[in-house]
């Protein structure tokens, strides 16, 4: 089975636009390459705020313990419901999880098997770490 992967990159807005233009030119030429979904952050600090240790833990709990609701997830994580709910909304916003209606609540499910982080050592423009 092929793992479903999302790529997280840290690169400047300019570099992100250059990559988008490159893909658009390929499409215009009839070249259709399979690309992994990508989430880009302009700096490492923003990335760290997004994918915190607690959010990674939620992803693992969702994948391995299969909570039936966000309330179940908060109990499994031993965390306050509101904080878990806020984290779930952020993970959903970045399409790392889906929320399915289940009984009287929303059941979180993980979309990807792998999160690949790409941090450039060389960059055409300066990235703030």
Tens digit of each residue's pLDDT (9 = 90 or more) over 97-118: 999 998 878 999 999 999 999 8
Domains of the chain, residue spans: 5-118
Mean pLDDT of 74-95: 96
pLDDT of residue 119: 82
Architecture of the 5-118 domain: Orthogonal Bundle (1.10)
CA nearest to 102, candidates 54, 78, 66: 66
Q: What is this structure's pTM?
A: 0.80
Please tell me the distance from the alpha carbon of residue 29 to that of residue 71, in angstroms, as a whole number.
49
Query: What does the alpha-carbon distance between residue 42 and residue 58 come to, in Å, rounded to a whole number?
Result: 24
127 pLDDT exceeds 60? Answer: no
């Amino acid at each position: 089975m092929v793992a479903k992967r999302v790529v997280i990159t840290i690169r400047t807005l300019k570099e992100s636009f250059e990559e988008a233009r490159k893909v658009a030119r390929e499409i215009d030429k009839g070249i259709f390459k399979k690309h992994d979904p990508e989430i880009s952050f302009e700096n490492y600090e923003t990335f760290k705020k997004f994918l915190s240790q607690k959010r990674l833990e939620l992803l693992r709990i969702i994948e391995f313990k299969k909570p039936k609701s966000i309330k179940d997830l908060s109990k499994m994580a031993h965390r306050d419901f509101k904080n878990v709910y806020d984290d779930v909304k952020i993970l959903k916003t970045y399409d790392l999880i889906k929320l399915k209606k289940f009984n009287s609540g929303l059941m979180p499910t993980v979309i990807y098997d792998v999160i690949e982080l790409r941090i450039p050592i060389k960059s055409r423009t300066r990235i703030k770490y």
